[in-house]
Structure 1
């Protein structure tokens, strides 16, 4: 009887869901934010000639990677069977500070000559660009 049930499950769902690895979760979250701040790409796969976008994606991934932890570490009231990965803060940062840092990552990857420099209050164009990036920075976690 158990064998019949198992075979039926396999036939109804020939591609059983596999658990997402931590690296896959980091890539998924990086893709999500990257394409939010670059809507002109229409979620198209990056190509060899997209050097600036590739560098931007890599910098964003570096910033996101340490912030992806197991659901068990991040979420309260999680059952022992729940598995997966969640986005969280690190080093005592608030979520606001975390999203500001991710916006900085994108902005300065677009403008590497300005790394280490604050955006002057008189530079309205850069402030506007940074603000547009920051508006798109949000990842829900723990089912919120």
Structure 2
């Protein structure tokens, strides 16, 4: 019993050395924090933004419970964003905020947006394969032009340039 009490007394003394060490915390503007730490609200807001770019005709109205395809696509977008594709970093107004980890790039010499974001490619894949689960995430064959065209249409719809550049 005395050893147990001695151990309980000594344990805090051993940890004093660890506590005495200076701890340097990262500055939010200089470090990227993984999206698995992103609050649910930030993931949901970004998911809404991308979903309603894909379906502007919905005018940002709530998805109805019987609109199962919309629900599946929204959930697929959210999964992509929640898998480390949102980061906490300096935003346009100098304050830090949750943002996509990668945006589409502006074209050379004020050209059109270049569809360069791997994150948005993953979003397009998620939406496309939610529509066609029977494809099992296999690559689209060159002969499947209508499927390739649909994927491209989805990808263009979810295109998102860095808002700080515009």
TM value normalised by structure 1 = 0.68
Q: Counterparts of 1:1-144 in structure 2 under 5 Å?
A: 22-65=39-82, 66-72=84-90, 82-89=95-102, 95-141=116-162, 143-144=164-165
CA distance in 2, matches of 1:122, 1:42: 35
Higher relative contact order (CA 8 A, sep 6+): 1
C-alpha contact 2:85 2:119 (8 A) present in aligned 1: no
Distance in 2 separating the partners of 1:36 and 1:100 = 15
The alignment covers a number of residue pairs equal to 115
- Extract unaligned runs of 5+ from structure 1: 1-20, 90-94
TM-score of the aligned structures, taking structure 2 as reference length: 0.60
Cα distance, 1:42 vs structure 2: 3.2
- The secondary structure found in structure 2 opposite 1:44 is coil
How far apart, in 2, do the equivalents of 1:41 and 1:115 lie?
Answer: 28
Q: Name the stretch that deviates more: 132-141 or 51-60.
A: 132-141
Measure how far apart 1:83 and its partner are: 2.9
Structure 1 residue matching 2:99: 3-state secondary structure: strand
Q: Answer whether contact 1:71 1:142 (CA < 8 A) is retained.
A: no
SS at match of 2:46: helix
Structure 2 CA distance, aligned partners of 1:132 and 1:62? 21
4+ residue runs over 4 A deviation: none
Between structure 1 and structure 2, the one with the greater Rg is 2
CA drift of 1:142 comes to 6.4
